[in-house]
Amino acid sequence: MIPSSYPNANEMARLTARMLLEIEAVHLNGAEPFTLASGLPSPTYIDCRKLISYPRIRATLMDFLTATVMRNAGFEAFDNVAGGETAGIPFAALVAERMGLPMTYVRKKPKGYGRNARIEGVMKKGERALLVEDLTTDGGSKLSFVDAIRDTGATCGHTAVIFYYGIFPETEKTLGDHGVRLHHLCTWWDVLAEARKSDTFDQTTLTEVEAFLHNPREWQSAYQNR
């Protein structure tokens, strides 16, 4: 079924944040920060991969994401749904099912043997592809996936994610300069607001997280200089 009537964006953001907290996909620790893929410290970490193990939440969020994309981009805007290796693959499959579209996935790099392909599945020249991933931080990792899609002769002007950090101002510009529009369900600000209501974390931790969210680069620099 293709969802078309769902809550407004603010309510979907609140509910998404609540679900992520409920399944303990959200991790906050100001005293002993996590290390991000960039090597930089962060008092926040989120694991959207956990969602695949919760059928009711998984189904609801995929309905939300599909409705969001169609509301924002159009009901007949795509011909193919591509998932980014690896976390984006299950979510792309679920969105493709809802939209009644073919699904493909994009490798991070060529296989190194056989066809040496980056695109798995069938993607045709001229098709309009939607790139689906679990999350985005600064948007940089999406560009390689988009370029791989475009190398097939298809177009890719949209990417959809469940979670968008929402704290790095360059993200949407980075994607926009590459001709890509971002669609998302919630950000760290939504999670912080819901965490304050639920008493999931202590006040000291939430205060440290808020300081990070307001100025992540400054927070990282200060922590590394401690």
Contact 162, 113 (CB under 8 A): no
d(CA 88, CA 220) in angstroms, rounded, equals: 28
The reported pLDDT for the residue numbered 146 is 97
pTM here? 0.93
Closest CA to 132 of 110, 108, 104, 111: 104
- Average pLDDT estimate for 47-56: 97
Sign of CA dihedral 154, 160, 165, 167: positive
The end-to-end CA distance of the chain, in Å, is: 53
Give the model's pLDDT for residue 4: 62
Digit-coded pLDDT (tens) for 124-176: 999 999 999 999 988 888 999 999 999 999 999 999 999 999 998 899 999 99
Is residue 95 within 8 A of residue 125, CB to CB? The reply is no
| Angle at 154 (CA atoms; ends 151, 158), nearest 5 degrees | 105
Structure confidence at residue 122 as a pLDDT band (50, 70, 90): very high
pLDDT tier, 181 (very low <50, low <70, confident <90, very high otherwise): very high
Confidence band, pLDDT 50/70/90 cuts, at residue 114: low
Residues 57-71: pLDDT tens digits?
999 999 999 999 999
What φ, ψ does residue 81 adopt, rounded to 5°? -115, 120
Neighbours of 64 (CB within 10 A): 23
Task: Label residue 194 by pLDDT band (50, 70, 90).
Answer: very high
According to CATH, the topology of domain 9-224 is Rossmann fold (3.40.50)
pLDDT value, residue 2: 63
